[in-house]
Structure 1
Amino acid sequence: MTAPTTSRTRRGPDPGGSSTLAGTGTMLRLILRRDRIRLPVWIGAHGLLVLYIGAALPQLAPSEENLAEMTALLSQPVGRMFTGPAFGMDAPTYERFFAAGYVPYLFILAALMSIFLVTRHTRGEEESGRAELIRANVTGRHTALTATLLVAGLANAATTVLVTAVALAMGYPAAGSAVVGVATGLTGLAFTGITTITVQLSQFSRPAAGMAGGVLGAAFLLRALGDMAAVGGSALSWASPLGWAAQTAPYVHDRWAPLLLLVALAAVTITAAFALQRRRDFGASLMATRPGAGRARASLGHPVGLAARLQRGGLLGWGSGILLLGVIDGAFTQSMIDAGEGMPEELRAVFGSEGLVQGYVAFLGSFVTVFAAAYAVYAMQTLRTEEDSGRTDAVLATPVSRVGWSAAHVVTIALGVLLISVITGSGTGIAAAGVTGDGALVREILTAHLAVVPAALGVLGLCVALYGWIPRAMPLLGWASVALIGIFDLFGALLDLPTWLLALSPMHHLAAVPIEEFTLAPFLTVTGAAVLLTVLGLLGFRRRQVRVV
């Protein structure tokens, strides 16, 4: 005899009606709790960028005459490709120079913040299995996506307010500052919508983030090509969401109309994302997952082969992006030469006193090495992902030691850092030689990149040490070390930082070739410190408990 079913025995949300959003408030608080450190750092980075540029420009160009001498860097075709449509460079002011040269990177930063946020709290949660546990409670089908969108909206709103407030604090006009802030927030919101679609398409978080990043890269390329065509942009500029934000022309025209396109894009993509989510099964994707081979390659039976396979996607993505950046920088060499005679002494000091071209070559080596170090931090997080998912435990259940598994990843990442430096150095040198006609720049730029590569390996060693002993602190401290190296070594002279503070950066101890003569002792010392940190990290991982899922 069976007991009758009553309403009190039903569990979970009803598939229809308002119950599809059940538990949204609780989920919202959970996401905010989990991102209580990460989101303020992302938002604060926008404000720090505005503050830094606003404080640095008067030092680089103490007078408007000096500022006018710098406009060639932004108004030439290569400069417009790298920065934006160069509105207002015929009558430059500090705020116009800020808008023309640096505001486009606020848009990119907001887009990246939104891409990572949405991917992490939607597809990343489904992939890890945590979303399934949450769905076992009283939560609806659209709860996670809705809560994530609310957090993304709050984050971009906070970014809007902060960017506007800091710009006003720097003394910039209110109308233009408001345009900059709103354009930054709406760009982030537009890419929030784009990412909500990519997480429906892919079953895994990394490909979902990669597809959204690909859209961002395509948007940058369309805007770059469109802005190269003419000052103020061309029809191609309007094919890009980044171009819409740039066409607001802050502090020159202060247009609000292009921002309606960003609002429309966000509304359409978010609406489409909810529709697509209704069409797929939980944990599945709309794009069919390609079945694996019937038999694994022999290389996957070795820790190094497995590590190379797991690191392949990150290396290709980061390597391609860094190479593209290097080629653009190399193509900018002739613009630096053309603007060199009238460049303010404060700006010339950033590139050293041994000659503008030589200083720029050394700057390129340090610049790319900062990004190579960022790749190392990103790649090291693969170890945490593997451990958190339980796959590390499965590998270690075979005749593979802890040191062998972790060392395979570290060696693979280190080779990736070296490969990025070699390929980017060569590509940058070829681009610089192409625009200047000086073939010797290929060798000089490649040497400049290789001379400081131990700095990136030092960051890798620090991440390995943190992973071995304090794994939870690795992402935060790893990214913090990259930021400090970038600030200290790229802008230390401009900020007049004390020597003892600059000495904390490994790049400070390496020769800035070609303006400094290469010396082997510091090169080996920094490399040795990286190896020592790596060994300490491997020993720590050997002793600590592997995370049990």
Structure 2
Amino acid sequence: MSTVTDATPRTGAVHQESRPAGTALAGTGTLFLFALRRDRVRLPVWVLAVVFLTLSTVQKATDMAPDDPDKAADMVKTLSGPAMLAMTGPEHYLSHFTPASMLSLLMLGYGAILAGLMSVLTVVRHTRADEESNIAELVRSGVVGRHATLTAALATAATANVVLGLLLAGTLPAAGLDGATAGGAVLYGAALTVIGLVLAGVAAVTVQLSAHTRAASGLALSVLGAAYALRAAGDVGTEAVSWLSPIGWIQRAYPFADNRWWPLLPALALAVGTAAAGYVLSTRRDVGAGLLPPRQGSPGASAALSHPLGFAVRLHRGLFVGFGAALLLLGAMYGSLLGDVDDMLKDLDDIREALAETGGSLVESFASMVMLVVVVVASLFVVMAALRLRSEETAGRVESLLATGLSRSRWVGSHLVAALVGGTLVLLLGALGLGLAGAASTGDGSLATQLVGGGLAYAPALWVTGGFAVLLFGWAPRATAFAWAVPVYGFVVGYLGKLLDLPAWLNNFSPFGHVPQLPAEEMRWTPMVLLTLVAAALVAAGLAGFRARDLETK
């Protein structure tokens, strides 16, 4: 017995020593190709959406840089206001007043947010999400090195960002934009590629910290939000603050203005540094675990956790708190601009005309337009909460629950109530922040109650969004990702459509397009009732589909 026992560690030691160098990356190529295969639809949609939104702003940028010197001077004065600089970028772009520089001013910051979102979701999807669903453990049982999964995820995100940069570099000079030189276009594309790499590196760190997909994504997106906030604060106040943000770095490359490449260097260094930190941290945890210790729970469960609804609310509590705080802050930020709407839009005749079509005063029309941003963010909460049904099923936790006396309808209904009621409350917080800050900035106290009512009018549209997610979950569970199309489409045609002069009939295909835009419009109850009935029908159909299909079991 002792001979066998003594021989075992020696055999293991010889085996470890005989491994060739570089096995930590074994299988990276296969995993990379597999990740591209999994994201063959998702990533092209992301990339093409960013390119489309950028190109759709070409005409707007041309209109904002008129040839008339007097009109150009008025436009510069309008755009140099604190509110506009906080929403766009550094004032230095205005010293090179061309349509191309206006495009950089308007879109580079928003493009950075979209590229960052794409990178974060890609890295988290192929690392932490696979660990949480136990896919990673199965994959690592094969010939796969310790760092292969993270390397493949980073390579996938990097590929998407490089393709995005190349497409922008190739299409912007051909868009007929005055001042869009080839060198400036290459720099513009490179800036978005670099910021995407930075957020991919940030996600590589956050997936090591938390054992949960939502927390890892939330941490990375919080870094993205903080970067944008620091950029905005620096552009309005002390410029040094903007240099604390990687978004501030890429904006100060000034594509189509100064065309400076060196600000991209610290961003590249940050991308490399965060990715390297992700590799180091990954060696200090087990598969499926996180470095941050889980919070100790109560020794005894509350009575609410013994009921399906109470348990569902507990699962969605963190998501609700995060979205509620973010929307309250977002609404307050937009509300603080309402007092300066006349000055902000003084020389933007096309935007004023688009707002005039809504009706009401300029402040009411602008408030109803930005309300849609609040609504879309609230709908993201509804989609995330509703799709928790799918993640619970794929993780194998539903089978044990339904083996008890819990019916399928009660289980789905508990999560759906948490999603729809929580989404309505999140929407209320955003509308409240918009109304209170708007009333303070305009001096019109009645605006607060008007905007809160205007926000709640969108609640049936939120319910339709959740109902569509449940419909997909019930009948086409593998296609639940298409639930994101509802808020994305609503934002593009409802918010950007007014700025980009998209046909008004496109709004008919969005549930948000049928809601009266209070307080600029009069209240109409018929759309509210019809949207509520549609939501109920979608939920009923989704429940019927779920009851009729088999569970996906582990």
2:231 aligns with 223
2:188 aligns with 180
Matches within 5 A, 1:177-326: 177-229=185-237, 234-326=239-331
CA contact (8 A) 2:345 2:352 kept: no
Matches within 5 A, 1:257-406: 257-352=262-357, 353-406=359-412
CA contact (8 A) 1:96 1:250 kept: yes
CA contact (8 A) 1:59 1:346 kept: no
Partner of 1:89: helix, strand, or coil?
A: helix
Provide the rounded CA distance (Å) in 2 between the counterparts of 1:541 and 1:66. 60
Deviations 1:2-60 (A, max 9, x none): 9x9999xx999977721111111111111111111111111112111111111444467
Provide the rounded CA distance (Å) in 1 between the counterparts of 2:549 and 2:253. 54
CA contact (8 A) 1:369 1:455 kept: no
Matches within 5 A, 1:461-472: 461-472=467-478
1:95 aligns with 100
Deviations 1:81-116 (A, max 9, x none): 222213322553322222112210111111111111
After TM superposition, the structure 1 stretch with the greater mean CA deviation from structure 2, 150-159 or 51-60, is 51-60
Provide the rounded CA distance (Å) in 2 between the counterparts of 1:313 and 1:193. 24
Deviations 1:499-538 (A, max 9, x none): 6543222233322222221022221111121112111111
* C-alpha deviation, 1:161, in angstroms: 0.8
Deviations 1:199-226 (A, max 9, x none): 1222222222221122112212221211
Q: Structure 1 residues 23 and 78 mapped into 2: Cα distance closer, same or farther (>3 Å)? A: same
TM-score normalised by the chain length of structure 2: 0.91
Pairing partner for 1:86 from 79, 85, 91: 91
Pairing partner for 2:539 from 514, 534, 541: 534
How many residues align structurally? 543
Provide the rounded CA distance (Å) in 1 between the counterparts of 2:499 and 2:199. 34
1:424 counterpart = 2:447 = no
Matches within 5 A, 1:135-150: 135-150=140-155
Q: Structure 1 residues 396 and 208 mapped into 2: Cα distance closer, same or farther (>3 Å)? A: same
Provide the rounded CA distance (Å) in 2 between the counterparts of 1:479 and 1:67. 40
Q: Structure 1 residues 523 and 177 mapped into 2: Cα distance closer, same or farther (>3 Å)? A: same
* C-alpha deviation, 1:319, in angstroms: 2.6
CA contact (8 A) 1:83 1:102 kept: yes
Provide the rounded CA distance (Å) in 2 between the counterparts of 1:185 and 1:131. 28
1:519 counterpart = 2:524 = yes
What letter corresponds to residue 34 of structure 2 in structure 1?
L
* C-alpha deviation, 1:370, in angstroms: 2.1
Partner of 1:17: helix, strand, or coil?
A: coil
* C-alpha deviation, 1:546, in angstroms: 1.4
1:40 aligns with 44
| Identity fraction in percent | 38
Provide the rounded CA distance (Å) in 2 between the counterparts of 1:159 and 1:12. 42
1:546 counterpart = 2:551 = yes
Q: Aligned-residue CA RMSD in angstroms?
A: 2.6
Provide the rounded CA distance (Å) in 2 between the counterparts of 1:57 and 1:257. 26
1:119 aligns with 124
Q: Which runs of 5+ in 1 are unaligned?
A: none
* C-alpha deviation, 1:169, in angstroms: 2.3
* C-alpha deviation, 1:494, in angstroms: 5.5
* C-alpha deviation, 1:73, in angstroms: 5.4
TM-score normalised by the chain length of structure 1: 0.92
1:17 counterpart = 2:21 = yes
CA contact (8 A) 1:69 1:344 kept: no
What letter corresponds to residue 406 of structure 1 in structure 2?
V
Provide the rounded CA distance (Å) in 2 between the counterparts of 1:61 and 1:251. 13
CA contact (8 A) 1:365 1:452 kept: no
Which stretches of structure 1, 4 residues or more, deviate above 6 A after TM superposition?
Answer: 4-7, 10-16, 59-63
